Amino acid sequence: MSEYHDFDHFGLDPRIVAAVKAMGYTRPTPIQSKAIPLVLRGRDVMGAAQTGTGKTAGFALPIIHRLLPQANTSASPARHPVRALILAPTRELADQVAENVRMYIAGTPLRCATVYGGVDMEPQTQALRQGAEIVVATPGRLLDHLQQKNTSLSQVQAVVLDEADRMLDMGFLPDISRILNQLPRERQSLMFSATFSEEIKKLAANFLRDPVLVEVAQRNAAADTVQQELYRVHESEKTAALLELLRSRGLRQVLVFVNTKIGCRRLARELVKNGVNADAIHGDKSQDERMKALEGFKQGTIDVLVATDVAARGLDIAELPAVINYDVPYAPEDYVHRIGRTGRAGASGLAMTLATGAEDRAVAAIERLIKRPIEVKTLDLKRGRGERPPRFRERAEAHGRSAAAERRHAVAAAPRPTADDIFSKPYEPAAAGKAAEAEEQAPAAGKKPAKVAALLGGGKR
């Protein structure tokens, strides 16, 4: 049982409580119950809890509460220095976290600015110069702004690394170290993720002061609400298998993960050729294209979104029914994050993985990490060959419903959660695993464990 059964008991500012209630949060999730009181007390926290269990509010609400005594309506930028910095590994995630923060602070005079690459710097510069107590950023672009003196981090009281294990791997660590070096030594530091290897935990401790490790215990690293299936296929059959899964399982909104940008582009093209309403999201696309693809997918104008691991972490797509791994990820942690795009906030979800013989070792590594075998299922590929999944438009015509209504119907018809026990499942920390490289910073291939000691220089902070 949670120590805190509702949001009134934390002592959070009523404006924050009103905001979360307006968002439909009725009771805190376990990570929120455990982390919020600690963060409110000013402690450094390393928080591990399954995907989709509300880690964002777990760190954001108490930080916002702690900023409120200094909140003011002055027009002067000097009265709105950056006091909390939230770092995220991808632009889409930074955008989403900032969106959440804006909803949580809606009833307060606090300001939030979002800073990420791939888009014009100017609007961000203006927002920073006008002053914002909370900045949500990806590291590279934040460093650009710091270099141009568009903002200062000298008054930061709290810093959060969302997806902390990713932020501390080799792809990001140099930038993270440079940013942390610009913060006051006297500050609160928070790290949250669904996965923490032992190696990363040790590394993270170097950036934290007397941290409390909060783990919401769960036997499996992946959320329990995600049903996991494995399909063994030959390389040449992968696309046919994917088409058959889309067809036979009646899947509509599906996120399909591949390991490379080229593969991502190619598969999306192939799906379109086969009559599937698909688009792609990967690091070689312009930010505008990335945003359009994600938005189209969220809105339901795109049925299948093919993605690299740029979409694996943190993204919250309401009631996404299914994820398919077209490729088995190189790093087992990425599997946990990828499949965690479904089965969020207590909803049920389906995660299917296509694996060739060459991917056996990667599958074994995943099973070691999640401490259980993935159920092996079979596919009848002959039956589905040449057919394609019906599109919403066609189904809508068949049922006399609008395409939007058809999509809603599909969501409603999908298996519903038995109970929203996301929120009460215990969690067991993930076994040691390799840190993955950062898609936005480095190519996905050739992942290596983080070699971090040199970068840390042995010192604290």
Q: Which chain residues interact with Mg ion by CB under 5 A? A: 55, 314
> What sign does the CA torsion over 419, 424, 430, 435 have?
positive
- Say if CB 140 and CB 78 are below 8 A apart: no
From residue 454, alpha-carbon distances to 121, 203, 319, 457 in Å are: 32, 12, 43, 5
- Measure CA of the first residue to CA of the last residue in the chain; give whole Å: 36
Q: Is 194 in the site for ligand ATP (CB under 6 A)?
A: yes
Ranked by CB distance to ligand ATP, the top (closest) residue is: 54
Q: Considering beta carbons, is residue 170 or 221 the nearer one to ligand ATP?
A: 221
Strands (E), 36-148: 45-48, 84-87, 112-115, 134-137
For the bound state, the minimum distance from the C-beta of residue 20 to ligand ATP, rounded and expressed in Å, comes to: 7
- Can residue 140 be called a binding residue for ligand ATP (CB under 6 A)? no
Contact letters (x/-) for ligand ATP, 262-301, by CB under 6 A? ----------------------------------------
**Are the C-beta atoms of 355 and 378 separated by less than 8 Å?**
no
| Residue 187: Cβ-neighbour burial (10 angstroms; 0-12, 13-18, 19+) | buried
Side chain identity at residue 122, one-letter code:
E
Q: Which does 228 bind (CB under 5 to 8 A by kind): ligand ATP, Mg ion, none?
A: none
With CB under 6 A as the contact rule, the residue among 53, 108, 218, 348 that binds ligand ATP is: 53
Rg (CA), the chain: 22
Look-up of token digits 């480095």: 442
Q: Which is nearer to ligand ATP, 146 or 164 (CB)?
A: 164
DSSP per residue, 188-213: EEEEEES---HHHHHHHHTTSSSPEE
Maximum Cα interatomic distance, the chain, rounded to a whole number of Å: 68
- Of 283, 314, 332, 433, the one binding ligand ATP (CB under 6 A) is 314
Q: Is 54 near ligand ATP (CB under 6 A)?
A: yes
Residue of 166, 261, 290, 344 that binds ligand ATP (CB under 6 A): 344
Does the protein bind ligand ATP through residue 343 (CB under 6 A)? no
Polymer length in residues for the chain: 461
Which of 30, 43, 48, 56 forms a contact with ligand ATP (CB under 6 A)? 56
**What is the DSSP-derived secondary structure letter of residue 116?**
-
The DSSP secondary-structure symbol of 276 reads: -
Q: Tell me which of 30, 52, 300, 390 binds ligand ATP, using CB under 6 A.
A: 52
Q: Which residues pair with residue 214 across a beta bridge?
A: 47
Give the shortest CB-195-to-ligand ATP separation in angstroms: 9
State the nearest-atom distance from the C-beta of 327 to Mg ion, in Å: 23
Q: Is residue 342 a contact point for ligand ATP (CB under 6 A)?
A: no
With CB under 6 A as the contact rule, the residue among 62, 117, 263, 340 that binds ligand ATP is 340
Residue 344 partner contact from ligand ATP, Mg ion, none using kind-dependent CB cut-offs of 5 to 8 Å: ligand ATP
Task: List all residues 6 or more positions away from 397 whose beta carbon is below 8 Å from its beta carbon.
Answer: none
**SS3 of residue 177 by DSSP:** helix
Residue 325 interacting partner from ligand ATP, Mg ion, none (CB closer than 5 to 8 Å by kind): none
Which residues are within 8 A (CB) of 437 and not within 5 positions of it... i.e. 6 or more apart? Answer: 169, 170, 171, 443, 444, 446, 447, 448
Q: Tokens 């419903």 correspond to what residue?
A: 401
Q: Does 90 bind ligand ATP (CB under 6 A)?
A: no
CB of 55 to ligand ATP, least distance (A): 3
Q: Which does 28 bind (CB under 5 to 8 A by kind): Mg ion, ligand ATP, none?
A: ligand ATP
Q: How far is the CB of 255 from ligand ATP (least distance, A)?
A: 12
**Footprint on this chain of ligand ATP (rule: CB under 6 A):** 25, 28-29, 32, 49, 51-57, 194, 314, 316, 340, 344-345
